Structure 1
Amino acid sequence: MSASDLPDELWARVLELGAASSALGFRDLCCLAITSRRLHRLSLHSSLWSVLLSRDFPSQSQPSSSSSSSQQQQQVHPKSQYKTKFERHKVRMAEARRRVVFEAEARVLACRRRLAELEESMRAEGDRMKAAAQELDNLERVRRASVALNVWQPQVVRGRQKQLVQQCTVHVDSRLSDLNMELKV
């Protein structure tokens, strides 16, 4: 006995069992429908598509309370209803994917902004570090000049050293230690 010898009722029952057990999906059913005229005819059974419709879209396939809309639903083949609901579902899924992409792009943009802020902060901190290093260098020269004042030097050199020390308005040693500490940090 070959597969072609089986009656249509058995084939229809096999297809219904496959759909009910989730072993046969709408894609499988569509693929079967294009294999032969017999399977095409069997795949159009409304009971088969009703099973797929209630399985794949359970919340959307609830019977409505109005009699006119239930009559319209009965006139529309379940395969057409399935196709309509599938297309709507596909559009909703595409919109959901777009929302996820937009949200990810928004997070990336926020991270880029934060990175730009951090880079600006680092540049400003670098500028402060350069200024502190320059001030430290200047204070070192002032300290050396102050020390040189206490040691005998020719009068010309002594005048320049005295001028450097007098220009400095802060206590050199404390400011030096502060700047060294700041640079270490």
Structure 2
Amino acid sequence: MLITSYNPAQMGDVLVAITKPDVATQATEKKEKIVRIYDVSSNETLGYNFFEVSELLSDLTDQGQVFLTEKQVAILNEALSQAGFEAELTVDMTPKFVVGHVAELAEHPDSDHLHIAKVEVDNGETLQIVCGAPNIEAGQNVVVAKVGAMMPNGALIWPGKLRGVDSFGMLCAARELALPNAPKARGILILDPAEFKVGTAFDFAKGARLFA
């Protein structure tokens, strides 16, 4: 897993690279212009901050979540090696917002409003996702934020549990996707299956036209 973000207006010339979720017992170590964040109990890397990253990646122009190429990740790994860290970053180009199909829907055993959905996504995969949207129904095409997605507000999607039930992603409302003129009422975005095919990356530009 590799989630990278770049926001020079707020953080300066720093690339944030996240490989695992935060834990309660974490610490940092700095070598040259790189800070490693790690789990104290296991010494597993949780992520890196690359300061003055434009010296390494002069072509880094996007803001918010950025998707690095193999070449860019190789440059970061070389910088890690030269600083004395392990070159452990791996490229992740898979789409994190995809069109899913709610194949099954069951009531949560410990909630009067949560549902347990089995959602078909890309690569023939089916995800279990707990959802509390009042308008969810079996048979719908929906937007799935998969594990590793960064929401427009900066929140990250990790595996979790809701009322004791495993959940591996999130079914998104239009406002959570920051689509223009999105309705404020609660409820996930339901997609027209003729326009949004199951297993494809969600097209934000097409989504932006839904409420125009």
The TM-score with structure 2 as length reference comes to 0.17
Larger Rg: 1
Please state which structure has a larger fraction of its residues in helix. Answer: 1
Please state which structure has a larger fraction of its residues in strand. Answer: 2
The TM-score with structure 1 as length reference comes to 0.18
